[in-house]
Amino acid sequence: MGILLGFTPFILFALLTGVSVSLALWIAFAAAFAIGIRDFLHAKMLRVLDVGCLALFALLALYAGFIQPGLTVQAVRFIADTGLLLLALGSMAMRTPFTLEYVREEMPESFLQTPRFLRLNYVLTSAWTIAFAVMAAADGIATFNKKFPFSLDVAAGLGTLALAIVFTVRYPTTARAHANSS
């Protein structure tokens, strides 16, 4: 599923922050760059998520590496999650949910022009928006409340991320089956 590839930089970042914030940021940036180039060469397009992840991780890697190297893991995670939350909200505000570019590749042509297709994408993008909001909230609490355990912050983030991935995998299949039966 293409959208999960689009989230690879973010997933790598989430998994590697426990090892090293700097390493996590630079690997996420490299992954975002590789995915963006791959998609551009393959489909001659730049997806909102690819560009957003590339810009987010490039700026954050430079900022945390050179301007404010003392940022805590929680603060960096908070900034990244908030950036992705704003990307998701912005795509919906511009009436082009970022999932459109991915789900379009997996749906029958007859379904692409229906109101259900657009609704499916708003539902998927809303699910990711909620996931990013929960993750940003957990990271924000961990950033500003030093008693909040880092392990709980990571567990909340990874658990929410897993739920969003499962929903993203299952919901279009259900919608497609429903569309085919109608």
Residue 182 has pLDDT above 70, yes or no: no
Top-confidence range, 9-18, 40-49, 58-67: 58-67
User: How is the chain split into domains, by residue range?
Assistant: 2-181
pLDDT of residue 103: 78
Q: Which residues contact 142 (CB under 8 A, 6 or more apart)?
A: 74, 77, 78, 148, 149, 150, 152, 153
pLDDT of residue 8: 92
Q: Return the SS3 of 18.
A: coil
- pLDDT tens digits, residue range 4-41? 888 899 889 988 988 999 999 999 999 999 999 998 89
Give the whole-number percent of the chain exceeding pLDDT 70. 97
Lowest mean pLDDT among 24-28, 70-74, 91-95: 70-74
Amino acid identity of 91?
S
Q: Give the Cα separation of 43 and 104 in Å (integer).
A: 13
pLDDT of residue 112: 80
Give the whole-number percent of the chain exceeding pLDDT 90. 59
Q: How many Cβ atoms are within 10 Å of 105's Cβ, its own excluded?
A: 10
Residue 116 has pLDDT above 90, yes or no: no
Q: Residue 101 — pLDDT band, cuts 50, 70, 90?
A: confident
- pLDDT tens digits, residue range 170-179? 987 777 777 6
The CA–CA distances, whole Å, from 174 to 31, 107, 130 equal: 30, 11, 20
Token pair of 102 as six digits: 């991915």
What's this model's pTM, rounded to 2 decimal places? 0.88
